[in-house]
Amino acid sequence: MSFSALPKIGMGTFRLKGNDARDAVKSALSLGYRHIDTAQVYENEAEVGDGIVSSGIPRREIFLTTKIWHDKLHASDLINSLHDSLARLKTDHVDLALIHWPSPGNDVPMSEYLGALRDAQREGLTNHIGISNFTCAQMDQAREILEDTPIFTNQVEVHPFLNNRKVIEHAKKLGIIVTGYMPLAVGKVMEDDTLIRIGSRHNASPAQIAIAWALARGVVPIPSSTRPKHQKANLDALKVELNADDIRAIDELDRGDRLANPEFAPDWD
């Protein structure tokens, strides 16, 4: 099965280690998730692979994403590292391979690592290719380099306190789906009065409201949770329908609160 579209919500595995990662993936799949997101730097690809195998869900029914770390961006390193990821994930391909961060200081030219990623796609190591943490200008550059090869997604931080509007609008213009990581702002959404108030009107938790808001903006959220109860609640956010006033009120919570901002990050929009 080759997915032509990302499932509307995914299960993120950032910070999940060992048995927690294994059990969380297995549980998420049993609850109905079909999109699992990991990365080389999470050091949990083997456990994610175990969770997928032990779930009993056929691999062809699961959309699996991994991300290539910035120390593996030279062409030969990139291809070799993706082979290693596939071995750890116990699969012969991923559905989506992303460049996790643009090369810090542009040490490796974008044309080199995106060209290698396209080669990986041609070799069948991944069905789709994409980017993560790319700015508007970097998306333009990537689009130019890849020409007719589609950029499937740009995965960026999106939550009510960092709405990343510029990047989302620019990605839409370029026909690139936005995947939103940290949609719950590492739990901060649970304490927000506006989200609590809107949630009480919809009989939903603040977390569900934050996820529903991302969905309403056309963003694919990938919340992370080890607890089946929370995983199910996150999935149930698909049923929450916010009105225009709700969305406007949540939009106003934006305060540029960026949680993922390492030293090597690009100059953000």
CA distance linking residue 136 with residue 171, whole number of Å: 8
Asked if residue 106 lies in contact with residue 70, where contact means CB atoms within 8 angstroms, the answer is no
Number of other CB atoms surrounding residue 141 within 10 Å: 16
Q: What is the mean pLDDT of residues 6-18?
A: 96
Taking CA atoms, 106 is separated from 1, 135, 225, in Å, by: 36, 13, 34
pLDDT band of residue 4 (cuts 50, 70, 90) is low
In the prediction, which pLDDT does 5 show? 79
Q: Write out the H or E segment, with its range, that includes residue 97.
A: strand 94-99
Of the options 3.20.20.70, 3.40.120.10, 3.20.20.100, 3.30.2010.10, the CATH number for the domain spanning 11-184+219-224: 3.20.20.100
Q: What percent of the chain has pLDDT over 70?
A: 99
DSSP one-letter code for 117: H
Query: Hey, where are the domains in the chain?
Result: 11-184+219-224
Compute how many other C-beta atoms are within 10 angstroms of the C-beta atom of residue 175: 9
Confidence band, pLDDT 50/70/90 cuts, at residue 2: very low
Tell me which residues are annotated as active site: 42
Bridge partners for 129 per DSSP: 97
pLDDT tens digits for range 159-204: 999 999 999 999 999 999 999 999 999 999 999 999 999 999 999 9
Question: How far apart are alpha carbons 116 and 108 in whole angstroms?
Answer: 12
Task: Consult the annotation and say whether 74 binds a ligand.
Answer: no
| Cβ atoms within 10 Å of 186's Cβ, excluding its own | 12
Cβ of 194: how many Cβ atoms within 10 Å?
A: 16
Q: Per residue in 75-127, pLDDT tens? A: 999 999 999 999 999 999 999 999 999 999 999 999 999 999 999 999 999 99
Closest by CA position to 182, among listed 165, 160, 204:
160
**Distance (Å, rounded) from C-alpha 21 to C-alpha 45?**
9
Nearest to 83 by CA among 74, 75, 92, 70: 92
Cα distances from 19 to residues 39, 42, 104, 186, 224, in angstroms, run: 17, 14, 32, 21, 15
Place 1 in a pLDDT band, splitting at 50, 70 and 90.
Answer: very low
- SS3 label, residue 57: coil
CA distance 139 to 128: 16
Between helix 18-31 and helix 228-236 the angle, nearest 10°, is: 40
pLDDT, the chain, mean: 97
> Is residue 208 scored above 80 in pLDDT?
yes
